Every structure is written in C-alpha cells, then in structure tokens.
C-alpha cells in the first residue's frame, strides 16, 4: 500500500475581525514550546500563513484524523494570541502581505519584485510514495492530464482583496505567475527529469531545485511524487478525498507504466488551458476531458476519474468511501461555492471568514 502525506497551508486571521495577521512567528514559538523537538508546523513565505505536514499514512482514516488534529493544534496555538486559523486558499478580506524574515524569502522578494507580494495563497500538497525516481517520473508523465480535476474539486479561493474574482480557484491563477509554475512536458526518464531541473537552476531564474514549481514533481527530500495543484480545502474531508484519489491515480499510472502503456502526449499549451478552465469554473460548468481535452460536464469528468482509478480504489478498500464522498461533493459544491453561499447568507466577507474558521475545525 502506498503511503500518503499531506502539507496544508493555513491562513492566520484575527479572531474578531477575520483580517489576516502576520503572527506566524509567535504561533511557531508556542508550538515549539508545547512540543520541543517536533517540527509539525513550519513558517511560510508570509507571516499571515502557517504550514503543517502530516506523517505518511497508509490508511485514509488515519490521514484524516491527523489533518483534523493538526488543524486543531494550530487553532489552539493561534488562539493563545487572539487569532484563529482558516483553511482558505486566499483571504476574502483585503491584506497587506508581510514577507517572513528569511534569507531564501528575501532572495525571492528581490528577484521577483512585486510578484512575490502577490503570492499570499494557501495550497494543499499531497505526497505519495514511489519505489524509485524512475517510477516517479513515469507516474508524473501519466497523471498530467488528470491534475486539473483536482484543482476543480479542491477550489476554495473565490475572493481576493475584498472582491469576488469570478474564479473558483484564484489561487491557481496567482500561483501561475511564478516563472517555473504549471504543467510540464513529458520527461520520459528520471535522467531527463533531473537534467531539466538542473538546466532550470543553471539559468539563475530560480534559486534551486525546490523552486521547480511543476504541478507535480519528484520530492527533493522524500521518496515521493508531490502533487501541488490543490487549494487548501475548507473541509478536512475534502482534503482526504483529494489525497485518496491522488494515491489511486499514482498507483494506476505506475501500473500502466509497468504494463508498457504510454502516457498521453498532450501539449503543455493545452494542459494550461485545462488548468485555467478548472480554476475558472470549478465544478459548476465544463472541464476539459483528460483524454480528449474537449469540454465535458464537470461531474462527468470527475466520474471518469473514478472509473480510471477503480481497480486501485477497490484494492485499497477506498472505493465505497470515495464514491460516497464524491456524490456529496458534487451535491454541495467545492469550497468556492460554499464561500459564495456564505457570502449571500451573511452579507459580509467578515462573516464568510468567521464561518470558515468554524468549518476548518469541523
């Protein structure tokens, strides 16, 4: 059974006003004081953000429990200084981002200028174990056309600087401004993958291999593939669904590679359009079908993902749970739809944040 780990970035907000607050250093200090030697929580590019990483898990119920536990621990530490945490991929309320004091982050601020300050967005990164770099690259080549589906499912960033953007995942649009971000071409081998990353670093445009911000990549630190297209999910259950489907997709891709089935040779140009479409309308309209890259109702595309990964889901024991979770998600909508419903109900973006703080811990 492949193991799965999740990294989530959370927004730190004022407990009363809902406005983002640059207090990550204080929250991290309290976490370190509470659990010396443990590094579950980490700083991020901005002081208004906090990241945590789960341990690798093989059972999805255990992964879900750990995500909930980490969210609650983050909320407890933030609460001690009058703040709260919200699983929001962008801040609904206006914010002036505060870049964390750190050599790496300062380099990024100087290198990319105003573009760096516009990157305050929270994602969910899913790590799935692979046996080797060769298997990992074979997986990366075969999962490319399916990644926009995860953007649509997880989309949770409709608001930006006090405005409705018209996007379900505005984070995707923001993240795409990094020079190395987005879908990658077929690599074909681990050697070609590593050479491509080395060539990118050699240009001087990015600092190191950790800044190769492909939608999916080999982890620089773990024997995993890292899928980076998802918004942080409002509900922990959605994060578990995303992680479960990604594991099944990775397993399916590895089996296809071992069976000698080649990857679909879609161009990066078309994959960018598929990603844009997923970010724009989420689950409410069409997505581009991963096989044909032609418009198809979003619900049908999500169902096709279940069909594509069916064998892996059955063997892991996740099929029934995923079927139920997908049905519920398609019925209620993604996080972006939930935020817009909250906006209609409360009449204010502050009300949206307040409600989302509660749902983050549900």
pLDDT at res. 341: 98
List of residues 6+ apart from 178 with CB closer than 8 A: 112, 115, 119, 211, 213
**β-pair partners for 12:** 85
H helices then E strands: how many in the chain? 15, 11
Q: Which residues of the chain have pLDDT under 70?
A: 37
Domain-embedded: residue 292? yes
Domain-embedded: residue 41? yes
pLDDT at res. 39: 77
- 10 Å CB burial of residue 36 (0-12, 13-18, 19+) is exposed
Cα separation of 76 and 81, whole Å?
9
- What is the span of the domain harbouring residue 35? 4-354
pLDDT at res. 35: 79
Using a cut of 0.75, tell me whether the model's pTM lies above it.
yes
pLDDT at res. 276: 98
What total number of domains does the chain contain?
1
pLDDT at res. 253: 98
List of residues 6+ apart from 93 with CB closer than 8 A: 17, 18, 19, 20, 162, 349, 350, 353
- Residue in the structure block whose two tokens are 């990857």: 263
CB 304 within 8 A of CB 125: no
For residue 350, give the CATH number of its domain: 3.30.590.20
Domain-embedded: residue 360? no
Nearest one of 147, 125, 148, 169 to 340, comparing CA atoms: 169
pLDDT at res. 37: 67
Domain-embedded: residue 362? no
Q: For 47-103, write each residue's pLDDT tens digit.
A: 999 999 999 999 999 999 999 999 999 999 999 999 999 999 999 999 999 999 999
- Residue in the structure block whose two tokens are 């911000």: 213
Domain-embedded: residue 361? no
At 264, is the secondary structure helix, strand, or coil? coil
Cα separation of 7 and 1, whole Å?
20
Cα separation of 297 and 328, whole Å?
17
Nearest one of 113, 111, 122 to 45, comparing CA atoms: 122
């Amino acid at each position: 059974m492949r193991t799965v780990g999740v990294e989530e970035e959370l927004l730190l907000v004022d407990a009363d006003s809902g406005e983002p607050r640059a207090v990550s250093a204080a929250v991290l200090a309290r976490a370190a004081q509470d659990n010396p030697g443990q590094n579950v929580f980490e700083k991020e590019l901005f002081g208004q953000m906090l990241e945590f990483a789960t341990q690798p898990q093989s059972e999805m119920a255990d992964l879900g429990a750990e995500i909930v536990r980490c969210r609650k621990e983050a909320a407890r530490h933030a609460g001690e200084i009058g703040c709260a945490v919200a699983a929001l991929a962008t801040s609904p309320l206006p914010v002036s981002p505060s870049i964390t004091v750190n050599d790496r982050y300062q380099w990024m601020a100087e290198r990319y200028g105003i573009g760096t300050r516009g990157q305050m967005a929270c994602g969910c990164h899913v790590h799935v174990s692979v046996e080797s770099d060769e298997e990992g690259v074979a997986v990366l080549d075969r999962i490319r056309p399916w990644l926009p589906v995860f953007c649509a499912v997880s989309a949770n960033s409709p608001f930006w600087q006090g405005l409705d953007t018209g996007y379900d995942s505005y984070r995707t649009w923001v993240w795409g401004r990094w020079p190395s971000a987005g879908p990658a071409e077929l690599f074909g081998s681990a050697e070609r993958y590593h050479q491509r990353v080395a060539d990118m670093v050699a240009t001087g445009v990015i600092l190191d291999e950790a800044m190769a911000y492909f939608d999916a990549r080999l982890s620089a630190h773990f024997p995993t593939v890292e899928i980076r297209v998802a918004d942080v999910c409002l509900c922990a259950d959605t994060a578990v669904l995303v992680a479960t489907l990604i594991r099944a997709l990775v397993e399916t891709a590895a089996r296809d590679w071992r069976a000698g089935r080649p990857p679909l040779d879609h161009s990066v140009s078309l994959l960018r359009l598929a990603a844009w479409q997923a970010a724009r309308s989420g689950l409410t309209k069409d997505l581009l079908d991963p096989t044909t890259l032609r418009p198809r109702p979003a619900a049908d595309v999500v169902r096709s993902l279940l069909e594509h990964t069916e064998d892996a889901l059955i063997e892991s024991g996740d099929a029934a749970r995923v079927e139920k979770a997908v049905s519920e998600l398609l019925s209620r909508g993604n996080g972006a739809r939930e935020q817009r419903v909250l906006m209609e109900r409360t009449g204010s973006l502050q009300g949206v944040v307040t409600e989302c703080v509660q749902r983050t811990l549900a």
